[in-house]
């Protein structure tokens, strides 16, 4: 029942940051891979080459999977600003869609960390009533959604605020 006002996607710089994160998260595995490979080569000689090769193939496969999942998350991520609600679709492996009605919005916050500032984008977090409920580790609250990687976050915040004002004026 909501008319689409604006459809958004994260900036390409956001994808770059996510790629950097994927590489850095694999750095520790690479160090362990070097150590285990050296140990295998010194202990088993020629047979150790096959063990080292298997370790490196597994590490590259995991990195490749992480990069593909990151790209799919970028491609499948949509932010839809409607006249009555805000809808966010995200996730490559575990898809999630959250719709927040403007009737329940309590807080809208624009955030930008140092890396985001360098890359030229911000994040917009929208919170609704009921956001104080206890959420277990690994779970996300359905009372808050973050639109990551926006180059025009301040403009979108103003748009959401105007939609919120229209909703309260008519309600």
Reply yes or no on whether the pLDDT at 139 is more than 50: no
Per-residue tokens: 34: 């070097």
**Axis-axis angle for helices 46-76, 12-44 (nearest 10):** 170
Q: Residues 113-127: pLDDT tens digits?
A: 999 999 999 999 999
Helices (H), the chain: 12-44, 46-76, 114-119, 153-170
For residue 149, pLDDT over 60 is answered with yes
Q: With a cut of 50, say whether residue 100 has pLDDT above it.
A: yes
Q: What is the percent of the chain where pLDDT is above 90?
A: 60
Q: Model confidence over 43-73: pLDDT tens digits?
A: 988 888 999 999 999 999 999 999 999 999 9
pLDDT at position 131 is 52
**What average pLDDT does this structure show over 137-161?**
83
123 with 144: CB under 8 angstroms? no
Kindly report the three-state secondary structure assignment for every residue of 33-71: HHHHHHHHHHHHCHHHHHHHHHHHHHHHHHHHHHHHHHH
More confident site: 135 or 19: 19
Q: What is the mean pLDDT of residues 7-24?
A: 95
Select the more confidently predicted residue: 131 or 102.
Answer: 102
Check whether 23 has a pLDDT greater than 90: yes
- Give the confidence band of 137 by pLDDT, cuts at 50, 70, 90: very low
- Which tokens go with 104? 């329940």
Q: First and final CA of the chain: distance in angstroms?
A: 16
- The average confidence (pLDDT) of the chain is 88
What phi-psi label fits residue 58: left (phi over 0), alpha (psi between -120 and 50 degrees) or beta? alpha
Q: What is the value of pTM for the model shown?
A: 0.82
pLDDT above 70 (res 141): no
Instruction: Kindly report the length of the chain.
Output: 171
pLDDT at 75: 95
């Amino acid at each position: 029942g909501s008319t689409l006002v604006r459809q958004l996607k994260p900036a390409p710089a956001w994808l770059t940051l996510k790629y950097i994160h994927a590489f850095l998260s694999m750095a520790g595995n690479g160090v362990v891979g070097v150590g285990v490979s050296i140990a295998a080569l010194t202990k088993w000689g020629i047979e150790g080459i096959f063990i080292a090769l298997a370790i490196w193939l597994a590490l590259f496969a995991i990195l490749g999977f992480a990069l593909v999942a990151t790209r799919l998350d970028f491609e499948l991520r949509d932010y839809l600003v409607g006249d009555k609600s805000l809808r966010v679709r995200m996730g490559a492996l575990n898809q999630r869609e959250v719709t927040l009605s403007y009737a329940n919005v309590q807080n809208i916050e624009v955030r930008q960390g140092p890396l985001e500032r360098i890359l030229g984008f911000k994040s917009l977090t929208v919170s609704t009533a009921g956001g104080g409920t206890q959420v277990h580790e690994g779970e996300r609250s359905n009372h808050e959604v973050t639109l990551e990687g926006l180059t025009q976050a301040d403009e979108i915040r103003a748009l959401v605020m105007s939609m919120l004002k229209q909703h309260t004026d008519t309600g």
